[in-house]
Amino acid sequence: MTRKLTLLITAAAAALGLAALGVAGAALSQGPMIPSATPHALTPPQLLTLPTPPSLPNAAQVERGRYMVAAGDCVSCHTREGGPTLAGGLGMNTPFGTIYTPNLTSDAATGIGHWTPDQFYRAMHEGMGRHAPLYPAFPYAYFTHISRADSDALLAYLKTTPAVSYTAPGNRLPFPLNIRFMVHGWNLLFFKAGDFQPDNTKSAQWNRGAYLVGGAGHCAQCHTPTNVLGANDNKKPFHGGELDNWVAPDLTANTRTGLGAWTSADIVEYLKTGRNGHAQAGGPMAEVVSYSTSLMNDADLAAVAAYLKDLPASPAANHPALDTGAMKRGAAVYSDACASCHLEKGVGQARYFPPLAADAVLQQDNPAGLAHLILAGVRTAPTTTRPSPLTMPSFAWKLSDQEIADVSTYIRNSWGNHAAAVNAQQVAKMRKALDLRTIHYTVNSGDHF
Ligand code: HEC
Ligand code: HEC
Ligand code: HEC
């Protein structure tokens, strides 16, 4: 074997390793995403809205830290199904193995009780753990923009949380990904530590929105597509991304697939209550809304909206002509299975059964999220303002892959909607990926399985 060939093989192996890590970084697989009440005395929203005793010497800092825990959605990742809030142990599935989130409660032995502000800031700002680099499934690529004062406040708050003694299971990653120092390679390619840089040509409100969206909120981690090495493709910011078999839609000004038709008030209502006249937050966005955005104040939500409304539109896509047979069959499935809730002509009932005409979620170029929600069903995020969990039932057991493909093609191309046709293979692939026996989205709907 020539030396050149050996080199090539080594390079390919290294790239594969990095690709795997990148995917690990991008995959925000958090298991079933439905916020569930924990047996712990306090549910996450209760813990995050608890007043700070004014007698604490650093009460203002602790209060600020509590707010930043909401802004950073720490609870969604650092709380396992049914486990105590922030005690960790959630397995984040990646195609290569599972990474478990650590305990962030004040427990000295197993949590962050002994961490110093410098150690904590290094984790947030540089992705460096106390002993070794942290995997990019922890969104430090965004948290690096969190200010030192907010980082110190986060730690001050976490140190006031009820101590829970719990150590998450060891990660299950194959060689060489189990070697943490591999992360240095990923960081070299895709990560640059740095403070938030304000844009002086924009308003203070826009800059506050940019700080929240691009820092603690890490919204782009889901809403931006990923490149072949699994890092966010910053040439297509907020054009929509895929994670954990869901599609996080385009958030740009595109009027078909993005937020072009939403007002700032619509965005604020969605983030605050989980619903608005256009859409309802389900899938992975349900936890973001329940544990993060619904707990943010109105001024900050308006800032987030101002920033999002200023994103330039993604390019409009052209789609080939459709098969009229699929449209006819899809219309029949729609009348039978969907019209009882979403009504004829897809008009829906705003804030209860989302209107499907002019809906962006179902017109995404990538139909995977649509197939997912029809197969598995979906539940709207409960929030303090809108606590009732509305549910769409699962259709996996009622409709074939072809029927789901046809009804998808139909709703993507009716009532003014326009998007590429969906085929049965795409649905079959999602059905297999979901392994529906482990998903219980529809327990409230009377649809037992
Ligand atoms: C998208 C999921 C996700 C979110 C959101 C998230 N984390 Fe994490 N975090 C992780 C994962 C995964 C790890 C473990 C990484 C590893 O093992 O290398 C981690 C590790 C950490 C660590 C290192 C702890 C240790 O014992 O080494 C700290 C500190 C931390 N997170 C703080 C936070 C804070 C504060 C927030 C909210 C502002 C937050 N995280 C939000 C996924 C997340
Ligand atoms: C864990 C991944 C994830 C993160 C983080 C995330 N989102 Fe989302 N988001 C989604 C998914 C998935 C959907 C689609 C929800 C659905 O189908 O009901 C969505 C939907 C939305 C929508 C509605 C779009 C539409 O057309 O209906 C808005 C607005 C939105 N997200 C804003 C944000 C903002 C702002 C942030 C950061 C504070 C954020 N998201 C963070 C995954 C995410
Ligand atoms: C029992 C009532 C019910 C039936 C029947 C029903 N849905 Fe839904 N659907 C809902 C509810 C409630 C939501 C809101 C869930 C969420 O996204 O948070 C929803 C959400 C959706 C969405 C996402 C819209 C958005 O912007 O968030 C689509 C697309 C959709 N349904 C399509 C269908 C199709 C196709 C069918 C028939 C195969 C169907 N639905 C049948 C109740 C229903």
Q: What is the pLDDT of residues 236-289, one digit of tens each?
A: 999 999 998 999 999 999 999 999 999 999 999 999 999 999 999 999 999 999
Q: Please, are residues 91 and 99 in contact by the beta-carbon 8 Å criterion?
A: yes
Q: How far apart are CA 29 and CA 35, in angstroms?
A: 14
d(CA 247, ligand 2 centre) in Å? 9
Q: How far apart are CA 271 and CA 264, in angstroms?
A: 11
Best residue among 211, 242, 288 to mutate for probing ligand 2's pocket (most ligand atoms within 8 Å of CB) is 288
d(CA 353, ligand 1 centre) in Å? 35
Question: Tell me, which fold does domain 325-445 have in CATH?
Answer: Cytochrome Bc1 Complex; Chain D, domain 2 (1.10.760)
Cβ atoms within 10 Å, residue 366: 17
Given a cut of 90, whether residue 34 has pLDDT beyond it is: no
Q: Please, are residues 234 and 192 in contact by the beta-carbon 8 Å criterion?
A: no
Q: 241: part of which helix (H) or strand (E)?
A: strand 241-243
Q: What angle do CA 74, 75, 78 make, to 5 degrees?
A: 80
Contacts of 135 (CB under 8 A, 6+ apart): 21, 24, 25, 99, 171, 180, 183
Whether the pTM exceeds 0.85: the reply is yes
Residue count (the chain): 449
The tokens describing 108, both together, are 């000295």
**Which pLDDT value is given to residue 96?**
65
Which amino acid type is present at position 238?
F
- Which atom, in ligand 3's list, is nearest to the CA of 286? 18
DSSP code of 158?
H
Given a cut of 90, whether residue 17 has pLDDT beyond it is: no
- Which atom, in ligand 3's list, is nearest to the CA of 340? 5
Q: Please, are residues 125 and 131 in contact by the beta-carbon 8 Å criterion?
A: no
Q: Please, are residues 417 and 359 in contact by the beta-carbon 8 Å criterion?
A: yes
Q: Which ligand is nearest to the CA of 292?
A: 2
Which amino acid type is present at position 283?
G
**Which pLDDT value is given to residue 235?**
93
3-class state of residue 353 by DSSP: strand
Closest C-alpha among 209, 207, 71 to residue 143: 71
Q: How far apart are CA 212 and CA 71, in angstroms?
A: 7
Q: What angle do CA 278, 280, 284 make, to 5 degrees?
A: 135
| Ranges 57-61, 70-74, 348-352, 435-439: which has the least confidence | 435-439
d(CA 417, ligand 2 centre) in Å? 20
Q: How far apart are CA 154 and CA 146, in angstroms?
A: 10
DSSP track, 162-174: PP----PPPPB--
User: Facing residues of 62 across strands?
Assistant: none
3-class state of residue 359 by DSSP: coil
d(CA 289, ligand 2 centre) in Å? 8
pLDDT tens string 161-173: 999 999 999 988 8
The tokens describing 405, both together, are 């493909």
3-class state of residue 391 by DSSP: strand
- Tell me the pLDDT band of 41, cut-offs 50, 70 and 90: low
**Which pLDDT value is given to residue 95?**
61
**Which pLDDT value is given to residue 435?**
84
Q: Which ligand is nearest to the CA of 102?
A: 1
**Which pLDDT value is given to residue 141?**
96
Closest C-alpha among 331, 439, 347, 348 to residue 390: 348
Query: Which is it for strands 97-100 and 241-243: parallel, antiparallel or unpaired?
Result: unpaired
Closest C-alpha among 29, 83, 34 to residue 443: 34
Given a cut of 50, whether residue 11 has pLDDT beyond it is: no
Q: Which ligand is nearest to the CA of 97?
A: 1
Closest C-alpha among 433, 51, 396 to residue 243: 433
Given a cut of 70, whether residue 32 has pLDDT beyond it is: no
| Ranges 48-52, 249-253, 416-420: which has the least confidence | 48-52
Contacts of 161 (CB under 8 A, 6+ apart): 47, 85, 86, 104, 105, 106
DSSP code of 336?
I
Q: How far apart are CA 263 and CA 269, in angstroms?
A: 10
Instruction: Please give the distance of CA 322 from its chain centroid, rounded to a whole number.
Output: 32
SS3 content of the chain, % helix, strand, coil (to 5): 45, 5, 50
3-class state of residue 80 by DSSP: coil
Atom 40 of ligand 3, nearest CA residue: 338
Instruction: Provide mean pLDDT across the span 32-43.
Output: 49
Domain positions in the chain are 29-171+179-190, 325-445
d(CA 244, ligand 2 centre) in Å? 13
Q: What percent of the chain has pLDDT over 70?
A: 87
Mean pLDDT, the chain, rounded, equals 88
